Amino acid sequence: MKLLKEKVLQEGIALNEQVLKVDSFINHQIDAKLMKEIGLEFARLFANEKVTKILTIESSGIPPALMTGLEMDVPVIFAKKHKSLTLTEELISQEVYSFTKQVTSNVAVSRKYLNSEDHVLIIDDFLANGEAALGLAKIIESVGAKVAGIGIVIEKAFQPGNAKLQEAGYRVESLVRIKQLAKGSITFVEDEEEQGQTSSKGELN
């Protein structure tokens, strides 16, 4: 997705060889127009998957999931990482380990909002090791519903998430795929051979 690639090149900062900082348009401040385009693109990519619901995980997965739900005209559910005062119905929980943050979260969705007839599209902002998406897929499948696909805004293709999800049989669509983060450069998978596609803003401490 050209617009997203340009944004990553203009504003993304490689904090180190593993982590891309995108606080200015995804993780803290949100670029609403870009999110709208992201929603359109996911809706186009998964148009034939008979999607009935979208599932994401709080917090940064919510904006792209919401815009996709708006385009596809389906409800958007976000899995909770924290206990809720009002979520008192039967909960489906799954432990998700983050290699990046080295913490385990218990993510939960109310049984009330998923049923066995659903075709659920998983949307998330980052794909690293695939643990969040696998956890959401387990939640979906635990009620007999189907995973319609997995839509990722930024995939770090040098980490094993995509391969794990494909091995598990899921269709994965990433809007941009990063091959490498290094000092002063962000390289996309399909742009390897092209010139002028690296950022001059990347910072490696």
> Which positions lie near ligand G4P, rule CB under 6 A?
19-22, 27, 57, 59-61, 98-101, 125-132, 156, 161
> What is the amino acid identity at position 108?
A
Structure tokens at 77: 């559910």
Pairing of the two strands 146-156 and 119-127: parallel
Q: How far is the CB of 181 from ligand G4P (least distance, A)?
A: 8
Structure tokens at 94: 């799954």
Q: How far is the CB of 63 from ligand G4P (least distance, A)?
A: 10
Q: Decide: 110 and 88 in contact? Cβ < 8 Å.
A: no
The residue among 52 and 56 lying less far from ligand G4P, judged by its C-beta, is 56
The residue among 118 and 131 lying less far from ligand G4P, judged by its C-beta, is 131
Longest dimension (CA), the chain: 54
Helix (DSSP H) and strand (DSSP E) numbers for the chain: 5, 10
Q: How far is the CB of 144 from ligand G4P (least distance, A)?
A: 24
The residue among 8 and 145 lying less far from ligand G4P, judged by its C-beta, is 8
The residue among 52 and 69 lying less far from ligand G4P, judged by its C-beta, is 69
The residue among 49 and 160 lying less far from ligand G4P, judged by its C-beta, is 160
Say how far residue 154 (Cα) sits from the centre of its chain: 7
Backbone angles phi, psi at 35, to 5 degrees: -60, -35
Q: How far is the CB of 126 from ligand G4P (least distance, A)?
A: 3
Interatomic CA distance for residues 181 and 187, integer angstroms: 7
Q: How far is the CB of 11 from ligand G4P (least distance, A)?
A: 12
